[in-house]
């Protein structure tokens, strides 16, 4: 599977589009994501964080993924922000074909050591692995603060360290910190495009932009033109889910889940469709 995933990233890199990676924790979110991908003929990544896959079930995620790709093979199941080797081994052994090892809270030396251990294991099982260098502030929710009051320069990825990191660990792709943060803030993130350019030049790796919610279409397009190959979106889906569910339940006295959850899936699809088009990932299968 790793070879096939690498070929897809190469295609994105060459053709100038980014793969959208969308988080899910329920089946109606998943349905919405897949509906949008099919409609727009886009390759797509479906992701679960540790919390999301604990809720959905790790083995259940793999089983549902295997069922989906029989009908639509352009989907990759990805384990997002995996913070320990134990968890990484568990998800790889359960059948995830793509993983993200997040050692960004560790010192550089420890991050290198743990990520290399994770990469060696992933590669021995033919699994694609994303590493992370530099910190990504916040969680996937709405924040009351302004990002510019919270984000500090020291967590941004240092281009020269990024080169060393990818060489020492052997990761297939790298998540970077260039002013992006998880969640929706009171202000728009200010991305450091010079830093992105430098990281791409020095590493030559597939690069990942986390914290996609709240970033403008213009900044997405510019990031892609400078070497971003995968973009993660979660908070905007969570917000769309909650708003749609509240609205559906309020508007009618109907307690049939497959009626009101249809609206939720449609709200998710709308967000995913918009992003696929911004990422230029439509008509790429
Ligand atoms: O790993 C997941 C993403 O980075 C999601 O970020 O919640 O800001 O869209 P977001
Ligand atoms: Zn993330």
Average pLDDT (263-271) is 98
From the CB of 213, is ligand 1 less than 6 Å away? Answer: yes
State which CATH number among 1.10.730.10, 3.20.20.70, 3.40.640.10, 3.40.30.10 fits the domain covering 2-278: 3.20.20.70
Between CA 272 and CA 189 the distance in angstroms is: 20
Ligand 1 probe mutation, 212, 214, 216, most atoms within 8 A of CB: 212
From the CB of 189, is ligand 1 less than 6 Å away? Answer: no
- Distance (Å) from CA 136 to ligand 1 centroid: 10
Atom from ligand 1 closest to the CA of residue 136? 4
Q: Look at residue 194 in the predicted model and tell me its pLDDT.
A: 98
Give residue 81's region: left, alpha or beta (phi > 0; psi -120 to 50): left
Between CA 53 and CA 1 the distance in angstroms is: 21
From the CB of 235, is ligand 1 less than 6 Å away? Answer: yes
Query: Is residue 187 among the annotated active site residues?
Result: no
- Distance (Å) from CA 261 to ligand 1 centroid: 23
Give me the torsion for CA of 135, 220, 199, 113, rounded to 10°.
Answer: 40
Per-residue pLDDT at 253 exceeds 90:
no
Per-residue pLDDT at 193 exceeds 90:
yes
Q: Look at residue 251 in the predicted model and tell me its pLDDT.
A: 83
Please list the residues that pair with 173 across neighbouring strands. Answer: 130, 206
Between CA 97 and CA 81 the distance in angstroms is: 15
Q: Look at residue 154 in the predicted model and tell me its pLDDT.
A: 95
Closest listed residue to residue 144, CA positions, set 190, 179, 181, 184:
184
Q: pLDDT class for 254, splitting at 50, 70, 90?
A: confident
From the CB of 80, is ligand 1 less than 6 Å away? Answer: yes
Between CA 28 and CA 110 the distance in angstroms is: 38
From the CB of 233, is ligand 1 less than 6 Å away? Answer: yes
Residue boundaries of the structural domains of the chain: 2-278
Atom from ligand 1 closest to the CA of residue 209? 4
What is this structure's pTM? Answer: 0.98
From the CB of 82, is ligand 1 less than 6 Å away? Answer: no
Between CA 133 and CA 155 the distance in angstroms is: 9
Query: What are the C-alpha distances in Å from 56 to residues 10, 15, 43, 44, 63?
Result: 31, 34, 23, 19, 11
Q: Which of 80, 172, 192, 219 is catalytic?
A: 80
Ligand 1 atom 2 nearest Cα:
232
Query: What are the C-alpha distances in Å from 186 to residues 98, 109, 141, 269, 284?
Result: 33, 35, 12, 25, 34
Q: Look at residue 265 in the predicted model and tell me its pLDDT.
A: 98
Between CA 92 and CA 99 the distance in angstroms is: 8
Residues above pLDDT 90, as percent of the chain? 98
Between CA 176 and CA 78 the distance in angstroms is: 17
Residues above pLDDT 70, as percent of the chain? 100
Q: Look at residue 96 in the predicted model and tell me its pLDDT.
A: 98
């Amino acid at each position: 599977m790793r070879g096939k995933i690498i070929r897809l990233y190469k295609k994105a890199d060459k053709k100038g589009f980014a793969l959208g990676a969308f988080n899910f924790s329920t089946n109606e979110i998943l349905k919405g994501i897949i509906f949008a991908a099919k409609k727009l003929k886009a390759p797509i990544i479906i992701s679960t964080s540790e919390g999301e896959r604990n809720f959905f079930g790790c083995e259940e995620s793999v089983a549902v993924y295997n069922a989906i790709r029989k009908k639509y093979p352009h989907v990759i199941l990805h384990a997002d922000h995996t913070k320990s080797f134990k968890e990484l081994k568990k998800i790889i052994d359960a059948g995830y074909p793509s993983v993200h090892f997040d050692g960004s809270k560790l010192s550089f030396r420890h991050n290198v050591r743990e990520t290399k251990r994770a990469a060696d294991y992933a590669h021995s099982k033919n699994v694609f692995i994303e590493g992370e260098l530099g910190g990504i502030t916040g969680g996937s929710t709405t924040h009351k603060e302004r990002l510019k009051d919270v984000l500090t320069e020291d967590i941004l990825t240092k281009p020269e360290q990024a080169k060393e990191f990818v060489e020492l660990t052997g990761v297939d792709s790298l998540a970077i910190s260039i002013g992006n943060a998880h969640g929706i803030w009171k202000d728009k993130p200010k991305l450091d495009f010079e830093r992105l350019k430098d990281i791409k030049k020095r590493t030559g790796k597939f690069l990942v932009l986390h914290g996609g919610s709240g970033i403008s279409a213009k900044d997405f397009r510019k990031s892609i033109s400078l070497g971003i190959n995968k973009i993660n979106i979660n908070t905007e889906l969570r917000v769309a889910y909650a708003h749609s569910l509240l609205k559906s339940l309020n508007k009618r006295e109907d307690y049939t889940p497959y009626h009101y959850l249809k609206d939720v899936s449609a709200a998710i699809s709308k967000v995913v469709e918009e992003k696929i088009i911004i990422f230029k990932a439509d008509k790429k299968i």
